[in-house]
Amino acid sequence: MQGELPTENIKERNAGTEVKPAQEFKLGALQAVPIMMGYFALSVAYGVLARDAGLSILETVAMSVLVYAGAAQFIAVGMFAAAMSPWAIIATTFLVNLRHLLMSTSLAPYFQRLRLSTLALLGTGITDETFALNSAELAKKRYHYFFTYGTNLASYSAWCTGSLVGAVCGSAIPGLDKLPLDFALPAMFISLLVMQLTDRLLIITAVLAGTLSLLFAMLLEGNWNIILATVLAATIAAGWEKWRKNSG
């Protein structure tokens, strides 16, 4: 998207028909329905786990409203439950969320010359799923940025609503706390990992990181094995990639 599109009507790249921003917002929200369904179920699990970790209903929902990062929230809840230090929680969630820098950079060409306030609102709603949807749709047609607003806000609403339901109703539903909801975190990470294993180097890096994490867990005190393994494996992979390009 070259430049900030007007708030009146715009023309679709392919169809050539005029579409109002309100219609674009609605279209974006409708496209996000599958994401909303997944987010609601997963955020209910987050709400239950957060309450089990000792967070209040307000704290549980506030984390979804203010943080809105599924993987980071599950990690934080697990680390809260393990009584880990604030710095360990901050460092771990920071590393996990670094991928958002790459995703926002990838979407940036579609939102050139937008106001900083608009970019901030759009950037707040970037998640793995909304990024995938928006990048695919924006590559096919020239949408008004209200399309992305619709996608992001619908997904955000589903996540926050599910968090509230899990926090409030988790203890009221018989047997819900007995379900293996703690597997939601490993399942999310496995899903994120599989989506990123697109070539041999990434597969080798993932195996190396997992091996180093297990090794550090046996040799080192505390729970820094994941952070150290991630940084070391990523550094080795980046160095290898640079050497391979220079030698080729």
Question: Do 34 and 93 lie in a common domain?
Answer: yes
Question: Do 125 and 172 lie in a common domain?
Answer: yes
pLDDT the model gives residue 13: 40
Question: Do 168 and 205 lie in a common domain?
Answer: no
Length of the chain: 248
pLDDT the model gives residue 139: 80
111 in any annotated domain: yes
Question: Do 242 and 147 lie in a common domain?
Answer: no
pLDDT the model gives residue 4: 42
Q: How far apart are the first and last CA of the chain?
A: 35
Q: Mind listing the pLDDT tens digit of every residue in the chain (248 residues)? A: 433 443 333 344 444 445 678 888 999 999 888 888 888 888 988 998 898 888 999 999 999 999 998 888 988 888 888 888 888 888 888 887 887 888 888 888 888 888 888 898 899 999 888 888 888 888 877 778 899 999 999 999 999 999 999 999 876 766 665 666 656 556 656 765 776 677 788 888 889 988 998 998 888 776 677 778 878 888 888 888 888 888 76
pLDDT the model gives residue 11: 41
pLDDT the model gives residue 75: 86
Kindly report the number of other CB atoms within 10 A of residue 3's CB atom: 9
Q: How far apart are CA 7 and CA 131, in angstroms?
A: 23
Domain that holds residue 221: 197-247
Question: Do 239 and 160 lie in a common domain?
Answer: no
Question: Do 51 and 156 lie in a common domain?
Answer: yes
Residues 6 or more apart whose Cβ sits within 8 Å of residue 121: 149
Q: How far apart are CA 122 and CA 118, in angstroms?
A: 6
Number of domains in the chain: 2
Q: How far apart are CA 201 and CA 198, in angstroms?
A: 9
Question: Do 136 and 171 lie in a common domain?
Answer: yes
Q: Which two tokens stand for residue 231?
A: 């940084």
Question: Which of these three, 143, 176, 209, is where a domain ends?
Answer: 176
**Helix, strand, coil % (nearest 5) of the chain?**
75, 0, 25
Question: Do 92 and 144 lie in a common domain?
Answer: yes
204 in any annotated domain: yes
Question: Do 85 and 24 lie in a common domain?
Answer: yes
Question: Do 99 and 170 lie in a common domain?
Answer: yes
pLDDT the model gives residue 185: 55
165 in any annotated domain: yes
3 in any annotated domain: no
pTM of the model: 0.68
Question: Do 67 and 147 lie in a common domain?
Answer: yes
Question: Which of these three, 142, 176, 210, is where a domain ends?
Answer: 176
2 in any annotated domain: no
pLDDT the model gives residue 219: 86
